[in-house]
Amino acid sequence: MLWSSGELSSASRSSAAPSFEKVTYSANGPETKAQNTSFSLARPTTTQPPTPSRAAPSPPAGVLAAAAPNLRVDLPPLAGRRRHHLGVCQLLMSSWEDDDSAAAAAAAASTDVELLKRAWRNEKASPEILRFDSPLVSRVREQIQLLEETLDDFGESGVDDLVVSLYQMDLDRTLFLLRSYLRLRLQKIEKYMMHISKSEDLLSRLSQQEQRFAKSCTEMMEKHLEQSVLSKLPYGYDSVTRQSLSSTEDDMVPEPQLDTFVFCKTKSDVGAFQLDDIGEEVVDLVADDLYVLRYKSIKGLVESGQIDLI
């Protein structure tokens, strides 16, 4: 037995927390040091007054904001620059004193990072390339540059590592969204470059850099096919876009399948909406409802921003 019943009783009756000392026991008893096999236990010593406990570390600001909507979390300002930029940092620096949840949700949905998420989701779910949001991308790039400069200032001024990590996490997430959005568009351009190059409407959806990319890809592909394959085929079969002279349309050009079914969510009440040309398929589109519809039928609603693809 390590403790006697008296010691246990006195320790349990004591209002102060007992301190402990470490005693090493070996196979031959507590005083034998020749054996290698040993184990450590702790036994109470003299009762001492409890030491004042240190305050628990504060949780990250994002946890506080999520747990208490009315709590205001103050972080270091962006060194005199604009502060309305990205997602996590904007939420952390915003005031949570507004009790109107609908207004707060509407304000959060109008931030640039939320608009970029929406554009990324629509581009990813859409079978065709959508219109490039040049003002949004320009603002996000400017804000990314401001945030990178802010992180440099934080490193020089010795700001707390937790704050720096929150800003860095926000920067990484926004960079991922922007790069993924641009990468999705480039993949569609590579896949449907000939179809896009012959349509003025599709070309107008691209940025200037994307238009140059589509043009150079089309020229290089035509040159490659001409040198490697088409020059060796008989007359009438040497077209890049048509199988033969008898073809009435460009049947060798891949096009996006607009009849693909997509998941979508309405942002507002649309009402009775006609899905076909003859009026046999009509659906009542209610706000915040989810639907599975043909992309061709709701293409106009997606372009006007009444429906988001998911």
Find the CATH number of the domain harbouring 308: 3.40.5.60
Averaged pLDDT, 44-73: 42
83 is in which domain, residue-wise?
61-173
Domain shared by 16 and 116, yes or no: no
| pLDDT tens figures, 15-32 | 444 444 444 444 444 444
| pLDDT tens figures, 197-250 | 989 999 999 999 999 999 999 999 999 999 999 888 888 888 888 888 888 888
Q: Please give the model's pTM, rounded to 2 decimal places.
A: 0.66
Domain shared by 214 and 156, yes or no: no
Query: What is d(CA 17, CA 98) in angstroms, rounded to the nearest whole number?
Result: 45
Domain shared by 40 and 129, yes or no: no
Query: What is d(CA 18, CA 48) in angstroms, rounded to the nearest whole number?
Result: 6
Q: Which of 128-132, 135-139, 270-274 has the lowest average pLDDT?
A: 270-274
Position 169 confidence tier, pLDDT thresholds 50, 70, 90: very high
91 in any annotated domain: yes
| pLDDT tens figures, 94-103 | 444 444 555 5
